[in-house]
Amino acid sequence: MRSNSKSSVRSALICTLFFLVTASTASASVSVGVTLYNSDSAVSENVNVENANYASSAVLLPYTGFADFPYSIHSSGAGSSTNSEGKFSDSISANQNGEGANEVDASVKTNSGSFQWSKSIDSSSDVSMAIRVASKITNGDLDASYSNSNSAVEKEVSTWNGMYADKSYITAGSISSSGSGGSLDVMENGFLSHIEAQHLGKTAMIDSGIQEISEIEGADHKFSDGIKLNSESASLTGSLSILSNNKCELLPMVGISSGPIIAGMKFTPFYTNTEKSVFEVQTVPKDSSPISFRTVERTMPSNIKTFESVTLSMIAKWS
Amino acid sequence: MKMILAALIVMLLLSPAVLGGSGTVKTSVGTFTQTNVFFKPPECTKDIGGGYTISTSATGDEKTSLDFETESNFKLSEDRMISIDTGAKTSASGAKSFGMMAALTQIYPTANGYRSSIFQTHSYTIMPYLFAIEQLAGSKASDDTTGGYNNNVVTIGDKIFNFGAKSDSNGDTLSEETYDPSISTVPGFGWENGFDYINTVDECGLEYTGTLSTDSTLLVD
């Protein structure tokens, strides 16, 4: 008897919502906004997609603990690109009892790439929310931004004869993002990358790039970046490597004067509110001029194998 | 006024270490570190300093031995940075592998914290036979130049092979290697070496490290 009563209450008071959004034709753009609220919490979601699918579901209850559910609002969703040129933005905000608003945002735009993302929100004794994003480009461009109420991350990456993949996880209290890429062809390859982290009153940016302008057999490259922002600290890393291969030797030259391959990195720190520099721009190489490289055909005896590499890297930490 | 407040010459000579037992043994001179050589110029409230670390090791048979000798000079330059000139000579015999790592650090204060410049070099040689090696390695750092080298002479029986590498941030080429082409007659020979230029800034609660590294490996089939 009691069970039947509970069941009927469930039927009456559990509101389950499903959304399905598809924007798969070229330049098709679709947006959806959802607000869920009960006596405990209010959750708002805004999703915009272009050339992407998105589906979500939500469970809305009167209060936490109702019918033994551990939450009063639960929402989850996921989406993915349907075209190599697509974009999405997903914004979540929530508050409990009208206080302590939290916000998590993610947006990604790819040109010659793909992305997928998922998100979840639970409102119980506290509000937890997260967005997980994976994106990839091949000979294309990625423009991504991730943020919460305290922090923001920007990534802009372009590749030529190369690829790049990024994985990011954004919660109300932290952002972690890591990406890596590399050349797919030894001729005329390269990349440009701008990563930016805004956290704890400071903003730090790393700009890096490799450009190979030779039409002859050249070198390979790989690069990576990492960002970790949490309540107590921030870290930002970036690195790039130029690598010889079985067809060429690599000669690293000081300065821009000599080689058809150039590479460099720049670090810019400033105070977020005033935009005043924390200290002056730093570069690798240190003298602000890019490092250049020349590749030469291997002339050593066939039984001698050599491998050369040059790596530029930057690490920044603050708290 | 250019002031020379101190000069430090350090000599370390370790006797050959002979370890008993059968099979491959490891001989290590260990790590010789000379750190925190600080100067305090007049009217400067913060120390200016630096130091260096050199570490060598070898593996081989029972009679592997290693001699190690180093000398360094520290000099205050323009009241704001020390220049360091350090060199090491290492001899190993009865070895099948020999490795060296050296790092040189300059530390200097700024209005908002500290900065440092670090130069590192490493070299590792392997051979299928027991060999003797004599290595000369050194590095220099001043306010505008940094660089180093390692030159190796390997003896196997009556055959002698030379190989080496050098690097500096002011020349045309960041790092260069030379080796005796006759090394191609020694299958199993392997040599890895590299250089690192590291700059750090620790100011206003933000720590930054920028690194430029070269690395090279040579293997003979």
pLDDT of residue A228: 98
- Residue B12 belongs to a domain: no
Is the pLDDT confidence value at A231 over 50? Answer: yes
**Cβ <8 Å between A286 and B169:** yes
Q: Give contacts of A282 with chain B, Cβ < 8 Å.
A: 199, 201, 208, 210
Cα–Cα distance list, B78 to B1, B83, B148, B179, B187 (Å): 7, 10, 22, 39, 51
Q: How many CA atoms lie within 13 A of B165 on its CB side?
A: 22
Mean model confidence pLDDT for chain A: 88
How many domains does chain B divide into?
Answer: 1
pLDDT of residue A256: 57
- Work out the percent of chain B whose per-residue pLDDT is above 70: 84
Q: B91 with B127: CB under 8 angstroms? A: no
* pLDDT tens by residue, B176-213: 888 888 888 899 999 999 999 999 999 999 999 999 99
At A260, list the tokens. 């058809």
In DSSP terms, A153 is beta-bridged to: A146, A197
* pLDDT tens by residue, B95-121: 889 999 989 999 889 999 999 999 999
Is the pLDDT confidence value at A208 over 50? Answer: yes
In which band, very low, low, confident or very high, does the pLDDT at A258 lie, cut at 50, 70 and 90? low
pLDDT of residue B149: 94
pLDDT of residue A6: 44
The Cα of A165 is separated from the nearest Cα of chain B by a number of Å equal to 24
Q: A132 with A166: CB under 8 angstroms? A: no
Domain that holds residue B93: 25-219
CA distance B19 to B138: 28
Is the pLDDT confidence value at B36 over 70? Answer: no
**Cβ <8 Å between B213 and A310:** yes
Q: B203 with B177: CB under 8 angstroms? A: no
pLDDT of residue A43: 93
pTM (2 d.p.): 0.88
In which band, very low, low, confident or very high, does the pLDDT at A249 lie, cut at 50, 70 and 90? confident
pLDDT of residue A235: 98
At A273, list the tokens. 């509110």
3-state SS of chain A: helix, strand, coil percent to 5?
5, 70, 25
pLDDT of residue A254: 67
pLDDT of residue B1: 29
Q: Is B126 on the interface with A (CB under 8 A)?
A: no
**Cβ <8 Å between B173 and A279:** no
Is the pLDDT confidence value at B42 over 80? Answer: no
- Residue B3 belongs to a domain: no
- Residue B58 belongs to a domain: yes
pLDDT of residue B172: 74
For residue B103, report the phi and psi dihedrals to the nearest 5 degrees: -140, 140
Q: Is A102 on the interface with B (CB under 8 A)?
A: no
CA distance B74 to A179: 42
* pLDDT tens by residue, A35-83: 999 988 899 999 999 999 999 999 999 988 888 888 999 999 999 999 9
At B45, list the tokens. 């409230």
In which band, very low, low, confident or very high, does the pLDDT at A3 lie, cut at 50, 70 and 90? very low
Is the pLDDT confidence value at A8 over 60? Answer: no
CA distance A13 to A268: 53
Domain ranges within chain A, ordered by starting residue: 1-114, 150-319
Is the pLDDT confidence value at B163 over 50? Answer: yes
Nearest-CB residue to A267 (from B170, B173, B208): B208
The ipTM (two decimal places) reads 0.90
* pLDDT tens by residue, B52-86: 888 888 888 777 788 888 888 888 877 778 889 98
